[in-house]
Amino acid sequence: MEKNARGVRKGAWTKAEDILLKKCIDKYGEGRWHLVPHRAGLNRCRKSCRLRWLNYLRPDIKRGYFNKDEVDLIVRLHTLLGNRQVFRLWSLIAGRIPGRTANDVKNFWNTHIEKKSKPMITQTNIIKPQPRIFSKQLVAPANWSKELNKPNDAPNIDPKNRSSTDHHASSSKTSKTDGRDENPKNNKQQPIIHSPLQEEEEVDECMRWWGNLLEITENGDGILFPQEDHVPSIVEPIFSPGFGDQSGKDYGVEDGIILSCLELDVDVWKLVSLDDH
């Protein structure tokens, strides 16, 4: 077994190590990962312990094939967020799929979906959401729908080609306040000025908007609507009835959150073409 410079074990976990880690978590609970190796009597680093627990040992982890519902949700959410370098993208997606981890979703995307979908994603099947008013706190940018519909001239994010510098530059940019500006002053709508810098900021604004969208659905404060009658059950907490209504009318939701339809042009099953398992 490989060891690093400090003599800490690396590589695949053994059954015995799994048992030790599980016992430790059962006894002390999750968190304080720096203490876990010592408490568990494991010669592993805290990162390794955390990862092993979160991605493999946790009792609610679901293993095996992703079902249609799960793939559908992954594709939809990735279509919404994937081209825009959303910070915590995989965590956000995984958070909506019970029992799946960010690592699972990321691996699944990279191995199953990315290859198949890449040649098929064009500017014509990019999402076209059309909310009117989203929340009391946050106003959608004035020209956000234009931004989302314009030809995708931003470089397509290919994880294989994208440098870690790029990733971290973007993450530090968006994560400071988790993608939201808490100062209401800064959320005021501004006149549209088409300087390159302003356009970039508007795209960021779009991303904050989507980040807000995801958080609100997570908190159960808002509801989005499904495109088709047969939207699978797992998608329902996010996409509930009325989603496909193209009439443009708004849908009343409690607490001042009003959405019109959210439209997706992507036929995800053509896109993914996976067999049932």
Task: Report in angstroms the alpha-carbon separations of 108 from 80, 96, 111.
Answer: 17, 15, 5
Binding to DNA by residue 38, rule CB under 7 A?
no
- Whichever of 41 and 159 has its CB closer to DNA, that residue is 159
Instruction: Evaluate whether 120 touches 275 at the Cβ level (below 8 Å).
Output: no
Q: Which is nearer to DNA, 32 or 249 (CB)?
A: 32
CB closer to DNA, 172 vs 186: 172
Residues 47-66 that bind DNA (CB under 7 A): 47-48, 50-52, 55-56, 63
Does position 110 interact with DNA (CB under 7 A)? The reply is: yes
Q: Structure tokens of 192?
A: 């549209």
Q: Which helix (H) or strand (E) element contains residue 263?
A: strand 262-263
Residues contacting DNA: total by CB under 7 A? 52
C-alpha distances out from residue 44 to 55, 112, 245, Å: 16, 31, 53
Binding DNA by CB under 7 A: which of 107, 122, 186, 190?
Answer: 107
* Among 122, 156, 172, 246, interactor with DNA by CB under 7 A: 172
3-state DSSP assignment of residue 255: coil
Torsion from C-alpha of 222, 226, 231, 233, nearest 10 degrees: 10
Q: Compare residues 87 and 251 and give the one whose CB is closer to DNA.
A: 87
Q: Rg (Cα) of the chain, in Å, rounded? A: 21
Question: Which residue from 15, 27, 136, 160 is in contact with DNA, where contact means CB under 7 A?
Answer: 160
Q: Which of residues 205-234 bind DNA (CB under 7 A)?
A: none
5 vs 193, beta carbon nearer DNA: 5
Smaller CB separation from DNA, 98 or 159: 159
CA atoms within 13 A on the CB side of 54: 16
Nearest distance, CB of residue 277 and DNA, angstroms:
10
Residues whose CB falls within 8 Å of the CB of residue 137, separated by 6 or more in sequence, listed in order: 184, 187, 212
Q: Which residues of 58-94 are buried (b: 16+ CB within 10 A; e: fewer)?
A: eeeeeeeebeeebbbbbbbbbbbbbbbbbbbbbebbb
Q: Does 175 bind DNA (CB under 7 A)?
A: yes
Q: How far is the CB of 22 from DNA (least distance, A)?
A: 13
**Would you tell me which residues interact with DNA (CB under 7 A)?**
4, 9-13, 31-34, 44-48, 50-52, 55-56, 63, 87-92, 102-104, 106-108, 110-112, 157, 159-164, 167-168, 171-173, 175-178
